[in-house]
């Protein structure tokens, strides 16, 4: 077996409590592709909110999408944020895709900052999507089909991304529990390699899968 193949297998080891490696490309590529799809959908909605197209496409609720996207709630959010919520969604979903593609298949240990930043982008976006759906139901009184699609995608992204965030946090917890050292925690967060941190990573990898 070649040295490069051994190195690749070392990076792509399963991480307890999972039977897979949450940082593997097979886990991350679907997230990135789905995030790109959501960004494209949000771009269409944003074009309507900015007035570049006359109607938002909606095969289910007809003019409901237009009413939701131009509702008083949407206008209030624009006044508060200075950007339409759909345009903000474009930026967030593109951020999901870019952060998802970055780093190696062991970035949960070698780039925890990247994984946590990825989680900070994905997880709040899912929460915001749920809040916006509730606003449609209880405040606006209309439904937007593509908004519901992007909300569903957001929740799927949260589900898919959480396992990688979880193992990165578990690794950092081991580092802190073993050493109680702010310096080592800082090094671990930024992915700086040393013997103590390598041992912490191996301890996580050696745990039994439940």
Residue 185 confidence (pLDDT)? 96
Q: Write the DSSP symbol of residue 137.
A: I
| One CATH from 3.20.20.70, 2.60.40.10, 1.10.150.20, 1.20.1440.130 for 22-161 | 1.20.1440.130
Residue 9 confidence (pLDDT)? 60
Residue 85 confidence (pLDDT)? 92
Domain boundaries, the chain: 22-161
Q: What is the pLDDT of residues 76-90, one digit of tens each?
A: 989 988 999 999 999
Q: What is the pLDDT of residues 104-119, one digit of tens each?
A: 999 999 999 999 999 9
Q: What is the pLDDT of residues 117-128, one digit of tens each?
A: 999 999 988 888
Q: What is the pLDDT of residues 129-177, one digit of tens each?
A: 888 889 998 899 999 999 999 999 999 999 999 999 999 999 999 999 9
Residue 8 banded pLDDT, cuts 50, 70, 90: low
Could you write out the DSSP letters of every residue in 80-99? Answer: HHSS-HHHHHHHHHHHHHHH
């Amino acid at each position: 077996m070649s040295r490069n193949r051994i190195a690749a297998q070392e990076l792509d080891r399963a991480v307890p409590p999972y039977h897979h490696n949450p940082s593997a490309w097979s886990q991350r590529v679907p997230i990135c592709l789905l995030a790109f799809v959501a960004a494209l959908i949000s771009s269409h909605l944003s074009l309507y909110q900015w007035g570049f197209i006359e109607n938002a496409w909606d095969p289910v609720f007809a003019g409901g999408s237009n009413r939701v996207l131009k509702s008083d709630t949407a206008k209030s959010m624009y006044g508060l944020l200075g950007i339409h919520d759909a345009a903000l969604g474009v930026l967030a979903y593109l951020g999901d895709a870019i952060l998802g593609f970055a780093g190696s298949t062991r970035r949960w240990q070698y780039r925890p900052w990247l994984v946590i930043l990825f989680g900070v982008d994905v997880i709040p976006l899912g929460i915001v999507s749920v809040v916006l759906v509730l606003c449609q139901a209880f405040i606006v009184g209309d439904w937007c089909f593509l908004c519901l699609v992007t909300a569903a995608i957001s929740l799927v992204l949260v589900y898919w991304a959480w396992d990688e965030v979880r193992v990165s946090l578990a690794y950092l917890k081991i580092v802190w529990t073993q050493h109680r050292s702010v310096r080592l925690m800082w090094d671990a967060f930024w992915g700086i390699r040393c013997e103590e941190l390598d041992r912490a990573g191996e301890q996580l990898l050696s745990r039994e899968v439940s």
